[in-house]
């Protein structure tokens, strides 16, 4: 790849970092005010008590756990997809990986807040941690909630490192291009990166190892989140299919989140030269596959329950299919199955706009799916004394909306501080493509060897 | 300490410069090469390529596994609670903790190995911001003036920009 091409990539991808328009400040202020409103709501909940929410016996899990499962699911967009594409060496992954990995980290952070938001006394959250309590009350390792603690923290640590390590060479580029205080900050962030063959080799080896490690961890995280449900004696929860069902749903919603983020970045940061329609089409095909898998799991779950014909299970079954929760259920089916099947299955609609519409549908559908797993079952358990209804209160609705604002805010700030497309990976990809092109044209692209051209 | 380096536009020229430095008697470990992307298709891109990182990651995983086992065993036997008739030290749930900490150990060991073996955080006499624009730097750190001149000649035989750092 030529030197001007290098310079152009640098200029294009560093522009959002080095120039700031009024739109950035406006967006940060708008999103920040929504997040601040949610913070005030949460503080009021902590002050006045859990009675301000709609969560009460027997529906102990409402919007908060819905959001928890939803955001942990969205987090499967990045690291898992990026790791798989890295392992299979898919060349088209290069502009996509960082956009995806960022979603993982921020979605996990938002999701991991909900067990704390869901506590009546959040200042005692540390009771969940495995520490030597002076009262000898150790965490119970046989509780799925403690498994969550380990799984989410492992995934979060791995994902943060998986995101940060390939950022170091890009920090070095910013260091070389920036001036003043910015240069000082990026000099520290670049950790003395120079780009020696040894450093490149170590970085790529580390990324390979982490990619291998992070795939089973990602699968385990959502399987363990599903155990929060399937380990409990609640109608339609005790199912061996919940693990893979949750994992598939998580990847499904994750891809949808990624497609939306990519489309917005492409438009706002003028990245048309880097995020091509083919990237959307490829991810759109993945979305289609996941929609089919999701449909398969829902069919399985429903059919087995229907044939089991347990009275409590069937009560929940009919509540969702033709009684009070039916409008939400059928909206979910349309959003998660019909819409992606039509838009992604027919080539004509598999455009960037088509991908965004299908993805927005999937995000809504997957949120509804989480809600429909939790609330109808908890409100209609095995005995009549444990029947109840759930009405979300303003504090829960504000916090739920604010999570989306928080996600956007974090994403905007990240794109302002770090190149949202990995510069070095993009350059490496283009260099490989040029080399392959030269070989195709019969040019001299053979590797240069030791001792060659010594004289 | 003085340093001499050349900046080259393409990888073939950089490889020639590396080969000329070798011909001038410079050891591989004393040659510095820098680029803005991995250069796996050229020979110099594999300099310093041997690593124990895979084995160290496995070691980290084993350490994580042992930690998880110890943590679960110690805490469960210190305060035995009857949970649904499960044994005090129940293997099935503990396998989850063991798995997670095994993977965490492997990941952390990998990162530590990267930081140490890639020599992150260490300063160097040779560096040129032009590397970020796609130029490939090939150079040597040397003490004697006579030797610097000799290396300058070796690097200058290949088309590129030659610089000396005092």
Nearest to B49 among A3, A201, A431 (CB): A201
In SS3 terms, A41-104 reads as HHHHHHHHCHHHCCCECCECCCHHHHHHHHHHHHHHHHHHHHHHHHHCCCHHHCCCHHHHHHHH
pLDDT-derived band at A455, boundaries 50, 70, 90: very low
Per-residue b or e along A34-52, where b marks 16 or more CB atoms closer than 10 Å to that residue's CB: bbeebeebbeebbeeeeeb
Q: Are B34 and A196 in contact (CB under 8 A)?
A: yes
User: Is residue A20 over pLDDT 50?
Assistant: yes
Please tell me the number of Cα atoms within 13 Å of B85 on its side-chain side: 0
CA atoms within 13 A on the CB side of A258: 36
> For A363-413, how does the pLDDT look when each residue is reduced to its tens digit (9 = 90+)?
999 999 999 999 999 999 998 888 999 999 999 999 999 999 999 999 999
- For A151, nearest residue in chain B (alpha carbons): B100
Q: Which domains does chain B have, with CATH numbers?
A: 2-37+134-165 (3.30.70.120), 53-117 (no CATH)
Q: Is the pLDDT higher at A364 or at A17? A: A364
Query: Are A431 and B26 a contacting pair, CB within 8 Å?
Result: no
| Residue B86 touches partner A, C-beta closer than 8 Å | yes
Q: Which of B35, B59, B132 to mutate to test binding with chain A, by most A CBs within 10 Å of its CB?
A: B132
The average confidence (pLDDT) of chain B is: 87
Secondary structure element (H or E) that encloses residue B33, with its range: strand B31-34
For chain A, the maximum distance between any two Cα atoms, rounded to a whole number of angstroms, is: 92
Cβ A415 vs Cβ A133: under 8 Å: no
Q: What is the pLDDT of residue B152?
A: 81
Q: Which CATH number fits domain A14-123+137-430: 1.10.10.10, 3.30.565.10, 3.40.50.720, 1.20.1630.10?
A: 1.20.1630.10
- B23 touching A (Cβ < 8 Å): yes
Instruction: Specify the DSSP element, H or E, that contains A309.
Output: none
Residues 6+ apart with CB under 8 A from A32: A409
Coil vs helix vs strand at B30: helix
Residue of B40, B11, B134 whose CA lies nearest to A452:
B11
Q: What residue spans define the domains of chain A? A: 14-123+137-430
Q: Do A197 and B86 touch (CB under 8 A)?
A: no
Q: How far apart are CA A219 and CA A81, in angstroms?
A: 11
Residues A145-158, mean pLDDT to the nearest whole number: 91
Pick the residue with more confidence: A441 or B41? B41
**Mind listing the pLDDT tens digit for each residue in B84-142?**
888 888 899 999 999 999 999 999 999 999 999 998 888 777 888 999 988 999 988 87
Query: Peptide bond preceding A185: is omega within 30 degrees of 0, i.e. cis?
Result: no
- Contact list, A447 vs chain B (CB under 8 Å): 41-43
CB within 8 Å: B131 and A194: yes
Tell which residue, A195, A105, A111, has the closest CA to residue A149. Answer: A111
The verdict on a CB contact (< 8 Å) between A192 and B54 is no
Inter-residue contact A205 to A221 (CB < 8 Å): no
* pLDDT per residue as tens digits for the range A252-261: 999 999 999 9
């Amino acid at each position: 790849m030529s030197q001007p091409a290098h310079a152009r990539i640098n200029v294009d991808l560093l522009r959002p970092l080095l120039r700031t328009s009024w739109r950035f400040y406006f967006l940060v202020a708008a999103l920040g005010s929504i997040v601040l409103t949610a913070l005030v709501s949460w503080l009021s909940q902590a002050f006045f008590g859990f009675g301000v929410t709609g969560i009460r016996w027997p529906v102990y899990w409402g919007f908060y756990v819905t959001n928890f499962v939803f955001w942990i699911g969205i987090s499967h967009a990045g690291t898992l997809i990026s790791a798989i594409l890295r392992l299979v060496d898919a060349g088209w992954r290069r502009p996509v990986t960082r956009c995806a990995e960022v979603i993982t980290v921020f979605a996990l952070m938002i999701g991991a807040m909900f067990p704390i938001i869901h506590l009546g006394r959040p200042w005692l959250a540390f009771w969940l941690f495995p520490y030597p309590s002076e009262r000898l009350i150790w965490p119970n390792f046989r509780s799925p909630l403690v498994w969550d603690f380990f799984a989410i923290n492992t995934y979060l640590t791995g994902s943060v490192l998986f995101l940060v390590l390939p950022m170091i060479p890009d920090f070095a580029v910013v260091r070389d291009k920036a001036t003043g205080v910015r240069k000082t900050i990026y000099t520290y962030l670049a950790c003395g990166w120079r780009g020696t063959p040894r450093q490149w080799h170590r970085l790529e080896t580390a990324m390979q190892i982490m990619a291998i490690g992070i795939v089973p961890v990602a699968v385990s995280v959502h399987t363990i989140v599903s155990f929060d449900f399937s380990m409990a004696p609640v109608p339609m929860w005790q199912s061996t299919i919940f693990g893979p069902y949750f994992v598939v749903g998580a990847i499904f919603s994750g891809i949808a989140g990624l497609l939306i983020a990519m489309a917005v970045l492409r438009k706002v940061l003028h990245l048309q030269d880097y995020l091509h329609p083919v990237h959307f089409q490829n991810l759109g095909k993945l979305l289609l596959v996941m929609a089919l898998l999701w449909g398969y799991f829902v069919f399985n779950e429903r059919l087995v329950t229907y044939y089991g014909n347990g009275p409590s299970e069937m009560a929940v079954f009919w509540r969702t299919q033709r009684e009070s929760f039916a409008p939400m259920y059928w909206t979910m089916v349309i959003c998660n199955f019909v819409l992606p099947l039509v838009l992604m299955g027919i080539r004509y609609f598999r455009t960037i706009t088509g991908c965004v519409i299908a993805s927005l549908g999937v995000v809504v559908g997957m949120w509804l799916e989480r809600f429909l797993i939790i609330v109808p079952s908890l409100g209609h358990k095995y005995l009549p004394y444990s029947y109840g209804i759930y009405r979300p209160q303003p504090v829960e609705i504000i916090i739920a909306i604010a999570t989306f604002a928080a996600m956007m805010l974090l994403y905007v700030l990240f794109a302002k501080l770090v190149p949202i497309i990995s510069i070095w990976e993009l350059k490496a990809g283009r260099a490989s493509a040029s080399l392959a092109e030269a070989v195709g044209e019969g040019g001299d692209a053979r590797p240069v060897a030791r001792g060659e051209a010594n004289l | 300490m003085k340093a001499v380096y050349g900046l080259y536009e393409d990888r073939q020229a950089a490889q020639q410069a590396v080969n000329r430095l070798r011909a001038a008697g410079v050891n591989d470990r004393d040659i510095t090469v820098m680029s803005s992307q991995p250069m796996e298709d050229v020979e110099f891109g594999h300099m310093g390529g041997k690593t124990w990182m895979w084995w160290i990651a496995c070691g980290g995983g084993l350490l994580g596994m042992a930690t998880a086992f110890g943590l679960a065993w110690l805490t469960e036997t210190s305060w035995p609670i009857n949970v649904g008739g499960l044994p005090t030290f129940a293997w099935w749930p503990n396998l989850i903790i063991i798995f997670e900490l095994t993977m965490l150990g492997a990941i952390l060991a990998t990162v530590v190995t990267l930081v140490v073996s890639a020599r992150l955080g260490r300063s160097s006499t040779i560096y040129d911001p032009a590397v970020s624009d796609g130029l490939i730097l090939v150079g040597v750190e040397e003490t004697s003036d006579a030797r610097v001149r000799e290396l300058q000649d070796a690097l200058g035989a290949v088309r590129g920009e030659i610089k000396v750092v005092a």
